[in-house]
Amino acid sequence: MKTYFQLLAAGITGGLIVLAGFNISRYQSTLNNQHEIKAMPVNFNMSPATNMPGDFVESAKKSTGSVVHIYSEESDAQVQAKRNKQRRNDPFSDFFGFDDFFGGSNFYAPKNGSGSGVIYSSDGYIITNNHVVGFADKITVTDSEGKKYNAVKVGTDESTDLALIKIEGAKNFTPIRIGDSEKVNVGEWVLAVGNPFGYLTSTVTAGIVSAKGRSLDIIRNEKAIEEFIQTDAAINPGNSGGALVNLQGELVGINTAIATPTGVFAGYSFAIPSKIVKRVVKDIMENGGNIERTNLGVGGYDINDELIKEFGLKLNGRKGFYIEEVEKRSAAQMGGLLPGDVIIEINSTPINNYDDIEKTMKYNKVGDKISLKVNRNGKEMTIPIQLRKSF
C-alpha cells in the first residue's frame, strides 16, 4: 500500500513538471515573438506627406545646386572715393581724432565678407542679403561645382535686407523653385542650405519651424519690414543669403540672422519668408536700382469716441486716422491732405488706426501711386497721392 502511494505521488509530480515545462516553453516562445516584433526594421523612406527625416535626401538634391557662395569686397577705387568725400565734408579728417585713441580710425579701410546666395533664374539672377553685398563693388560667385563668376549688383532693399545680383552673360543655371511661405506650418521640417564660415560649401542642416512672423528689430532702417520665419536648423556666419527650403526642395525663406550670445549658432535662426522675397525681387527687376521706402508724412490720432466729440466729427459710424499735422514737402502735403482730414481707406482697404496705414503701405516705395479716401468736414472724397522720398 505504501508503495502504491509513493508511485502515485511520483506520477503527479512528474505530470506537474511536464506541465510546468510546457508553460515555460510557451512563455519563452511568446517573449521571443514579442522581441521579434520590437526588432522589426523601421522604414525611413516615407512619402513627403509624413514629414519624416528620410525625405531630406530628395530636398537636398533639389536645392543644393541652386545655392552659391558669394565673396564681396570694396575696390581700392571705391575706398578712395569714400576718403575723398570725407575730406570734402571734413577738412580735418586726415588728422588723428578722439576715436583713434580707442581703436577707431578716421581712414576708410576696404571691407570684405562672404555669404551665400540663391539662384533665381537660369540667366544668372541671384538673391542674397543686402548686408552680404550692399557695401561692395566687387562680387565673386562660386557655384556648387566650384566654378567662379563675376557678378554685379542689380539692386538692394535695406528695409528687408534683400539684394539681387547678376552674373553677366550667364545661361543654363539651375534656379530654385519658389515655394509659398504662407503655407509653412510651425513644427514643419525645413532645411538650411548655405556656406557657413565661408569654406564649408554646400552645407545642409535640418530643423523645424519654431515660429512665424517674428519681428526682431535687427534691420537698421526706419522702414524695416520684419516677418521672420524662426527655425532651429543650424545657421552660422556665411549662411546669410542662403536657402531655407521645405521637404519638396522649394524655397520658403532666405536665411538672414541668428540669435546668439557668442556669434555662432546657439539654437535659433531666422529667415525672410518667400512671400517678401518674391515681392522685393519683382520690384528690383522691374524698376532697377535700390528700393527707397517712403512715409506718407502725417501725424495724428486713432479715432475714438472722445475724439469724435471733441472735434465734432461726422463719420457715420466709421473709424479711421485723424490728421493733426502734415509734414512739409511730404507726399501727404503735395497730394493735398489737410489737418482735420480723417483717413478712412487706402487703396480700398479700410483704415481703423495708424497701424493699418503702416501695414497697408509697408511695401510701397518712392514713385508709387496710392488712392486715399478721407472724410473732410463730414464729406468723403478720394485723393490720389504719388509717394515721395522722405526728408
Reduced DSSP (H G I as helix, E B as strand, rest coil) percent helix, strand, coil of the chain, to 5: 30, 30, 40
Residues serving a catalytic function are 131, 161, 240
Model confidence band, residue 63 (pLDDT cutoffs 50, 70, 90) = very high
113 beta partners:
72
Work out the percent of the chain whose per-residue pLDDT is above 90.
59
- Check whether residue 154 and residue 227 sit in a common domain: no
Out of 21-35, 74-88, 93-107, 136-150, which region has the weakest mean confidence (pLDDT)?
21-35
Q: What is the pLDDT of residue 268?
A: 87
Q: Mean pLDDT, to the nearest integer, of 14-33?
A: 41
Domain boundary among 287, 309, 328: 287
- Check whether residue 184 and residue 113 sit in a common domain: no
Residue 188 has pLDDT above 90, yes or no: yes
Is residue 45 assigned to a domain? Answer: no
Do residues 224 and 162 lie in contact, with contact meaning Cβ atoms separated by under 8 Å? Answer: no
- Check whether residue 278 and residue 207 sit in a common domain: yes
Is residue 28 assigned to a domain? Answer: no
Is residue 33 assigned to a domain? Answer: no
- Between 149 and 54, name the one with better pLDDT: 149
Residue 255 has pLDDT above 60, yes or no: yes
C-alpha grid cell, residue 10: 511520483
Model confidence band, residue 65 (pLDDT cutoffs 50, 70, 90) = very high
Q: What is the pLDDT of residue 171?
A: 86
Model confidence band, residue 89 (pLDDT cutoffs 50, 70, 90) = low
Model confidence band, residue 322 (pLDDT cutoffs 50, 70, 90) = very high
- pLDDT tens readout for residues 194-239: 998 878 888 999 999 999 998 887 777 777 888 999 999 998 889 9
Q: What is the pLDDT of residue 216?
A: 81
Q: Which of 268, 387, 384, 258 is nearest to 329 (CA)?
A: 387
Q: What is the pLDDT of residue 98?
A: 39
Number of domains in the chain: 3
- Check whether residue 280 and residue 331 sit in a common domain: no
Domain boundary among 128, 144, 167: 167
The amino acid that residue 6 corresponds to is: Q
Q: Mean pLDDT, to the nearest integer, of 166-189?
A: 94
d(CA 33, CA 21): 18
Q: Mean pLDDT, to the nearest integer, of 174-184?
A: 96
**Which domain CATH number covers 312?**
2.30.42.10
Helix (H, G, I), strand (E, B) or coil at 133: helix
Model confidence band, residue 94 (pLDDT cutoffs 50, 70, 90) = low
Q: What phi and psi values does residue 323 have, to the nearest 5 degrees?
A: -90, 115
- Between 385 and 94, name the one with better pLDDT: 385
Is residue 242 assigned to a domain? Answer: yes
- Check whether residue 156 and residue 196 sit in a common domain: no
Domain boundary among 287, 315, 335: 287
Is residue 90 assigned to a domain? Answer: yes
- Check whether residue 319 and residue 280 sit in a common domain: no
Q: Mean pLDDT, to the nearest integer, of 182-202?
A: 91
d(CA 325, CA 340): 8
d(CA 360, CA 320): 13
Which structural domain, as residue segments, surrounds residue 145? 69-167
Do residues 127 and 282 lie in contact, with contact meaning Cβ atoms separated by under 8 Å? Answer: no
- Check whether residue 275 and residue 352 sit in a common domain: no
Model confidence band, residue 19 (pLDDT cutoffs 50, 70, 90) = very low
Is residue 37 assigned to a domain? Answer: no
Work out the percent of the chain whose per-residue pLDDT is above 70.
78
Q: What phi and psi values does residue 146 have, to the nearest 5 degrees?
A: 95, 5
Q: Which residues contact 20 (CB under 8 A, 6 or more apart)?
A: none
d(CA 244, CA 224): 21
Residue 44 has pLDDT above 90, yes or no: no
- Check whether residue 138 and residue 114 sit in a common domain: yes
192 beta partners:
205, 244
- pLDDT tens readout for residues 338-386: 999 999 999 999 999 999 999 999 899 999 999 999 999 999 999 999 9
pLDDT, averaged across the chain:
82
- Check whether residue 120 and residue 193 sit in a common domain: no
Q: Quick one: how far is CA 326 from the chain centroid? A: 34
- Check whether residue 377 and residue 308 sit in a common domain: yes
- Check whether residue 356 and residue 319 sit in a common domain: yes
Is residue 237 assigned to a domain? Answer: yes
Is the Cα dihedral 336, 338, 341, 344 positive or negative?
positive
Question: What pTM value is reported for the model?
Answer: 0.76
Q: What is the pLDDT of residue 107?
A: 53
**Which domain CATH number covers 249?**
2.40.10.10
- Check whether residue 283 and residue 181 sit in a common domain: yes
Is residue 17 assigned to a domain? Answer: no
